[in-house]
Amino acid sequence: MFAEAEEDFVEILFSFLTLPLGTIARLSRKYEDKVGSLTSLYESVENLSIERFFETWYKDCLVYPINSSAHVCEKLKVNLHGTKSILYQPGAIFFKKKGKFIITEDLNIIPLMMDTSISLLNSLGVESIHLLHERTIFFGLK
């Protein structure tokens, strides 16, 4: 399986790499799909009594870690990082220009070009383009 996406979506995927793991666990708890053991670890720290820590600050660092790239991520079209929401920011955040990409099921992201598309289809063993099924998925937060 693979997807075609514009740079807005790919920028959001790339922004995941700027998140501290504690933020990922905290944000994922809001949704039905959790991040497995990472969510459990986060909840364990969150549920520990403050007396277990040297100071409140130490627990807060684990439960509410600071994203060192917050100033960049606050410009994303979808607010995933708990930063200031911006409805529209012209231009790209991580990319120099607009474009489309192919995203594989293992989150390999490659620019959408004729040769990369053909190469991907060949590597997946697709013999006829008529065997492919197109599905449109809208991405965003409620």
pLDDT in tens, 39-56: 777 887 888 777 776 678
Look at residue 108 and give its three-state secondary structure.
Answer: coil
Asked if 92 and 98 touch (Cβ cutoff 8 Å), the reply is: yes
One-letter identity of residue 136: T
Separation between Cα atoms, residue 7 and residue 13, nearest integer Å = 10
Mean pLDDT over 80-108 rounds to 60
Separation between Cα atoms, residue 118 and residue 116, nearest integer Å = 6
Name the more confident of 133 and 94. Answer: 133
Q: Which of 6-15, 74-83, 104-113 has the lowest mean pLDDT?
A: 74-83
